[in-house]
């Protein structure tokens, strides 16, 4: 038997004022994406913003449905949107934020496993790591480079890749 360990790397910022201008602007775009969230059942709005190589930003928001689990997370809405619109686009970074009127969100909200797996595949396709910013509105920002820092045992099978 051999015991192995993972080490993950991320940065923590007290707020937007500590980020560089580009990262701060992307976080604010994720806040903007909250406006299109359709979340009448949970009341939990999630916004995502993807920064593409070349400067274009693509937004996504969570979309619920009364027939759970037919909805879709904000991250996958944005990722699948760019995947169908411009499959050769390179995603440099993405920001995710959340908001609800039901309670105060006190720390950054992170992605579900399904979103992480989709993010990982985009990284594999583009052969470039994605920087992910988790932004707690008016609070902390976590910055992670590379999806393997978020899901070290992601599903990979090179024989399935075309």
Under the banding of pLDDT at 50, 70 and 90, the label for residue 157 is confident
Q: What is the pLDDT of residue 156?
A: 79
Show the domain range for 142: 11-154
4 located within any domain: no
2 located within any domain: no
In Å, what is the CA distance from 138 to each residue of 26, 107, 143, 148, 155? 14, 10, 16, 27, 34
Digit-coded pLDDT (tens) for 88-132: 999 999 999 999 999 999 999 999 999 999 999 999 999 999 999
CATH of the domain at 75: 3.40.140.10
Q: What is the pLDDT of residue 6?
A: 86
Specify the 3-state DSSP secondary structure of 161.
Answer: coil
33 located within any domain: yes
pLDDT at 155 over 90: no
Under the banding of pLDDT at 50, 70 and 90, the label for residue 161 is low
- Structure tokens belonging to residue 2: 């051999």
**How many domains does the structure of the chain reveal?**
1
Residue 75 appears among annotated catalytic residues: yes
Q: What is the DSSP string of 102-137?
A: SS---S-----HHHHHHHHHHHHHHTS--EEEEE-T
Q: What is the pLDDT of residue 162?
A: 57
Q: With contact defined as beta carbons under 8 Å apart, do 77 and 85 qualify? A: no
Q: What is the pLDDT of residue 101?
A: 96
Half-sphere exposure of 102 (CA within 13 A, CB side): 9
Under the banding of pLDDT at 50, 70 and 90, the label for residue 20 is very high
Please tell me which residue in 17, 75, 121, 156 is annotated as part of the active site: 75
110 located within any domain: yes
69 located within any domain: yes
93 located within any domain: yes
Q: What mean pLDDT is reported for the chain? A: 95
3 located within any domain: no
> Residue range 21-30: average pLDDT?
98
140 located within any domain: yes
Digit-coded pLDDT (tens) for 26-76: 999 999 999 999 999 999 999 999 999 999 999 999 999 999 889 999 999
């Amino acid at each position: 038997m051999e015991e192995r360990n993972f080490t993950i790397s991320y940065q923590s910022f007290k707020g937007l004022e500590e980020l560089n201008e580009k990262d701060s602007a992307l976080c604010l775009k994720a806040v903007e994406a909250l406006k299109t969230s359709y979340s009448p059942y949970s009341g939990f709005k999630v916004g995502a913003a993807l920064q593409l190589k070349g400067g274009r930003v693509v937004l996504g928001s969570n979309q619920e449905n009364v027939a759970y689990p037919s909805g879709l997370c904000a991250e996958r809405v944005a990722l699948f949107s760019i995947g169908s619109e411009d499959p050769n686009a390179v995603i440099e970074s993405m920001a995710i934020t959340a908001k609800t009127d039901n309670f105060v969100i006190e720390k950054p909200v992170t992605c579900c496993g399904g979103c992480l797996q989709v993010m990982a595949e985009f990284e594999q396709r583009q052969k470039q790591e994605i920087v992910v910013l988790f932004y707690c509105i008016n609070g902390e920002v976590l910055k992670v480079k590379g999806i393997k820092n978020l899901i070290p045992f992601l599903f990979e099978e090179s024989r399935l890749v075309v």
